[in-house]
Amino acid sequence: MDMSRRLSAEFFGTFWLVFGGCGSAVLAAAFPGLGIAFAGVALAFGLTVLSMAYAVGHISGGHFNPAVTVGLWAAGRFRSADVVGYVIVQVLGAIAAAAVLYLIASGKAGWTPDGFASNGYGDLSPGKYSLAACLVTEIIATFFFLFVIIGATSKGAAVGFAGIPIGLCLTLIHLVTIPVTNTSVNPARSTGQALFAGGEYLAQLWLFWVAPLLGAIVAGWVARWLHEGEVPLVAVEQDRLA
């Protein structure tokens, strides 16, 4: 598959994830009388990944997340030469979505950005959880997100159904971790929102790159061992995108 098409698919997929997921929090979660609360936001994130996995997953692999790209690379499923390009367009897609959300949300009289669905620890954590608690949460959540992604797309898994467990896994992760970090597991998603929230949210952004990438890399290493003996994983991914 032509690289420009793959990068475009990643841009639009990440845009939709941030617009749909963070948009549900910024625009719908606190709407008087009709607020969707944490459960609705969690479901929205899962639905964005599920819908885009089927829309463009066959073009780019459906990463929409630098941690997924790096985790698949660590698992031997993704070429080193393609990592940087994927991460750049994912971040750009997230920033573009955050900009559109800001434009829409600011059209309401009296609206203030506050945290703008950003991630944080300490005083910026929804439940006021410590730095250590948030670090562990993001590492573990991203580890299992990649664990599910790799397993669901491995040889022997049900063909054509990977988007369902992946989307449901992301929903579950949000149900558990929104009170702790407002859920990242995706450095691009965190970057887009933090740029518009500014201040301390931007200062804390480092955690939401370090922890997801660390969890993803460890998951990739574990997956290489767990799935040892299968068809070389890079070959599987590249054949699917050819």
* Element housing 162 (H / E): none
pLDDT of residue 197: 96
- Into how many domains does the chain fold? 1
d(CA 215, CA 43): 22
Q: What is the pTM of this model?
A: 0.93
Amino acid 80 reads S
d(CA 215, CA 144): 8
Residue 234 banded pLDDT, cuts 50, 70, 90: very low
Give the residue carrying structure tokens 């990592």. Answer: 83
Residue-number span of the structural domain to which 202 is assigned: 3-107+116-241
- Say if residue 235's pLDDT is above 50: no
Amino acid 36 reads I
The DSSP letter of residue 122 is G
Percent of the chain surpassing pLDDT 90: 83
CATH number of the domain where residue 194 is located: 1.20.1080.10
DSSP string, 87-143: HHHHHHHHHHHHHHHHHHHTTSTT---TTTT---SGGGSTT---HHHHHHHHHHHHH
pLDDT in tens, 153-179: 988 777 789 999 999 999 999 999 999
Q: What is the mean pLDDT of the chain?
A: 92
